[in-house]
Amino acid sequence: MLRTEIVRGVANLLAAVDSSNVLDVIERVYRELTRQSGEVKIPEVLDCYQKFMLAYNSTFSNVERQVMKALDVGEFADAEWWSVVIATASGGPKSPDAATMIAHPLYRLRFAVDYLPNVITLLKRDTDPDIRALQAEIYAGGNRPGHMILILPEEGGKFSSPMRVASAIEAVSLLYEAFAELNVQSTTDLVLNSCDSGLDKVFEFRGLNDVIEKVKGLLLDLWDNVIYYRDKRFADRMEMSARNLRVLSDIAGLEEKNLLQKERAELLRRKFMAGTTKFFETGSSIPEMNKFSTYLPRNLLAPKETLLLQGRGGERRRHREGQDAGPDPQGP
């Protein structure tokens, strides 16, 4: 999971616990069960059960559910466990181990509620926006002025080589510089604001708003071309998608009108082509691509195989298993 996913998942879980009042109610059920004067009424139990399960079924994603599993509080989403709680609160027949069944998840959730807010503060960075806003930007194509998200998908047990990460970042830098030079603006305002990793690697850039928007526009233009030439083989699709960008036509038009010197026009063309090619070769994408197409960028913008490495324990393990004897010269 991404760091931002973990923060969001924990925050959503804590919000559901708070809004349903489940922790207070279950604590009183337990105190009454152990004769510590809990004084709880069955309508309260049913109400908090309904509220928590509504949040679980309607607002929790797989992230929140994985967080619950990791914290070992899955009982709070288990109907059988709730039946024990409700039976206990109603004064009906009690399971002989009801106290233990209720106490263990209750203590674990109490610990989580007491300490997880502090964990969230450790995971969040000063440069992070509101966590929900950042999640929307990563997965739904949000659009904060002057910011751009770059995604490097990683699947099938393969991971990015250092060359892939460096080339992807350089692609954004080249395109930003090219637009800034074309519009006679500062080329030194682009910064790598934050990075994250989980299933994918995610980089957030910040720069001049109008230049960032032009970079996004070019990449969406590239994405349109990729879809159009999707039936071509990789090398042809890459070349044809890059050479049919609108910005190259714009440069040619300025050159014809003598508004751009021939040498400068050629340098800009090379920089745009280099940046676009690196973006394509690394299998990079931006969230906005998901908003305007039914095609998935991770399918049509797959990186070159040479930029991906097999995860640890994959190829090497199979190699060792095929040997009769002798140590692996590369180590374990």
Q: Where are the domains of the chain?
A: 3-123, 146-310
Q: Is the pLDDT of residue 129 over 50?
A: yes
Average pLDDT over residues 56-67: 90
Maximum Cα–Cα distance for the chain, whole Å?
A: 91
Distances, alpha carbon 310 to alpha carbons 4, 88, 247, 323, 327, in Å: 25, 53, 37, 19, 20
Instruction: Please enumerate in sequence order all residues whose Cβ is within 8 A of that of 144, keeping only pairs 6 or more positions apart, or say none.
Output: 129, 133, 137
CA pair distance 162, 207, nearest whole angstrom: 24
Q: Is the pLDDT of residue 146 over 50?
A: yes
Q: Is the pLDDT of residue 223 over 80?
A: yes
Average pLDDT over residues 156-181: 91
pTM of the model: 0.65
Average pLDDT over residues 26-31: 90
Predicted pLDDT of residue 292: 64
Predicted pLDDT of residue 154: 84
Q: Is the pLDDT of residue 97 over 60?
A: yes
| 297 vs 150, more confident | 150
